[in-house]
Amino acid sequence: MISSLLSFLTASILLTISPGPDIIYVLVKSMTAGKKAGFMISIGLVSGILVHTSLVAFGVAAIIQQSEFLFQIVQFLGAGYLLFIAFSVYRSEDNFSLKTSEVIESNQKLLKRGFLMNVLNPKVSVFFLAFFPSFISNTEAHITFQLYLLGGVFMLQALLIFSLVALSAGKIATYIQQNSRLLKVFKWVQIAVFVLIAFALFL
């Protein structure tokens, strides 16, 4: 269980720091509206993860209770989806842009925006459904608890990383813009993580 959690934490951190819509939005919002705004967006985004975790937890648990074979099908479909994401990342461009804005928004509005950005994105649930099952250490006991534990770990590391991004937004953006190779490194790290997890599911 401990080794599974450590593997999950490592993969989660690599996925979170890889350039994506959420972390880029936190970075941009922190630079244009201040660190507090970035932190509020971060809390909203992480809160949305709880909804997707619940959907996956009860869905996967129900599938396992019905049939181990069905669970294996879900794993294979998830592996295929992760390989598709890896291919999409490979096809994406290596660029980084900041769009500035002078609009000042309330904390409540920022929290709501972050929450809805996450909850209303069906790709997050599909991704979690593909990502989480490979880290279940025992398919015969406490499936729902294991998935909520994984969801909690993912939420905590994401909140920590998003908060650090908000606090260091200016320095991070400047460093990334001055070091274009960094984006390529992140891109290939992201591809490698998706492919490795996909093969773990297949095996």
pLDDT digits (tens, 9 = 90+) for 21-65: 788 888 888 887 888 999 999 999 999 999 989 988 888 777 766
Mean of the per-residue pLDDT values of the chain:
81
Highest mean pLDDT among 114-128, 131-145, 151-165: 151-165
Check if the beta carbon of residue 164 is closer than 8 Å to that of residue 158. no
pLDDT at site 159: 96
Q: Where are the domains of the chain?
A: 2-93+104-202
Helices (H) and strands (E) in the chain, counts: 9, 0
User: Residues 6 or more apart from 30 whose CB is under 8 A from it?
Assistant: 37, 38, 39, 165, 166, 167, 169
Check if the beta carbon of residue 98 is closer than 8 Å to that of residue 31. yes
**Is 0.75 topped by the overall pTM?**
yes
pLDDT at site 203: 66
Q: What is the pLDDT of residues 140-188, one digit of tens each?
A: 668 888 889 999 999 999 999 999 999 998 787 777 667 767 777 777 8
